[in-house]
Amino acid sequence: MTEGGQQALTPSSQSQSYLTQLSQSEATQQYDAVDSEVGETVQVAYWARVFNLIGFPFEYRDLGPEEDQVEFRIGRDKANKPKNHVNLKSNHVSGPHCTIFYDKVRKKVYIIDYSTNGTFVNGTRLVKNKPRQLNDLDKISLCINIRNAATPGSARVSPGHGGKNEPLFSLSIKLPNTVTDMSTQQSESTNDIQFLEKYENRETLGSGSFGTVFRCVNKETGKVYACKECNVRQFDRVEENGADNFVTEARIMQDLKHEGIVECYEIFTSTDKCRLVMEYVDGGDLFDYIYDNGAYSEADGKALLKNILSALAYAHAKGFAHRDLKPENIFLTKLDNRVCKIGDWGSAKNEIKQVLKTFVGTGCYLAPEVLHRNRSVSKAGSYTIAADMWSLGVIMFVVFTQEAPFTYTHFEKTHGRPSINFENKKLKVLSCPARDLLRRLLQVDPEARISAEQALAHDWFA
Residues with a known catalytic role: 324
Task: Give, in degrees to the nearest 5, the angle at Cα 244 between 387 and 348.
Answer: 15
Task: State the maximum Cα–Cα separation within the chain, in Å, rounded to a whole number.
Answer: 90
Strands (DSSP E) found in 40-128:
48-54, 60-63, 71-75, 86-87, 96-103, 108-113, 119-121, 124-125
Q: DSSP 3-state helix, strand, coil percentages of the chain (rounded to 5)?
A: 30, 25, 45
Task: Give, in degrees to the nearest 5, the angle at Cα 55 between 57 and 170.
Answer: 115
Helix (H) or strand (E) holding 341: strand 340-342
Contacts of 379 (CB under 8 A, 6+ apart): 32, 357, 359, 373
Cα(first)–Cα(last) distance of the chain, in Å?
35
At residue 264, φ and ψ (nearest 5 deg) are -105, 125
Taking each helix axis as running N to C, give the angle between helix 386-401 and helix 298-317, from 0 to 180 degrees, rounded to the nearest 10: 170
Strands (DSSP E) found in 153-272:
169-174, 199-208, 211-218, 224-231, 264-269
User: CA-to-CA distance for 368 and 348, rounded, in angstroms?
Assistant: 18
Strands 211-218 and 224-231: antiparallel
User: CA-to-CA distance for 395 and 405, rounded, in angstroms?
Assistant: 9
3-state secondary structure of 91: coil
> 35 exposed, middle or buried (CB, 10 Å; 0-12, 13-18, 19+)?
exposed
